Amino acid sequence: MTVPPADGLEETLRVKLLPPPPDVEKVAVTVVDTVIVTVQVPAPEHPPPDQPVKVYPLFGDAVKVTAVPES
């Protein structure tokens, strides 16, 4: 939910010399006060995933065979 700023919180003030002398720069002052509030509601709880429970294999024997070619 985003709440817009209330009326009157944003003001602009501009000052300009007419006609501006050649050695004076133009001046503009802007005052802005903006408040934005964002609220996120908590998400509902989700059920557990629909998949089988993880099963670890039992311990076993391993055999490694290496063939060496005859020269």
Residue 26 in domain: yes
Domain limits for position 19: 2-38
Q: How far apart are CA 39 and CA 47, in angstroms?
A: 25
What is the pLDDT confidence band of residue 5, given thresholds at 50, 70 and 90?
low
pLDDT of residue 23: 73
Q: Quick one: how far is CA 34 from the chain centroid?
A: 20
7 domain residue, yes or no: yes
Is 17 within the bounds of a domain?
A: yes
Residue 25 maps to a domain: yes
Evaluate whether 26 touches 20 at the Cβ level (below 8 Å): yes
Give the residue among 37, 38, 28, 29 at the shortest CA–CA distance from 6: 37
Q: Check whether 1 has a pLDDT greater than 70.
A: no
Q: Based on the structure, what is the number of domains in the chain?
A: 1
The answer to the question of residue 53 being in a domain is no
pLDDT digits (tens, 9 = 90+) for 30-70: 887 778 888 888 988 988 888 888 888 788 778 888 888 88
**Average pLDDT across the chain, whole number:** 76
pLDDT for the residue numbered 9: 56
Q: Calculate the CA dihedral of residues 48, 52, 54, 58 and round it to 10 degrees.
A: 160
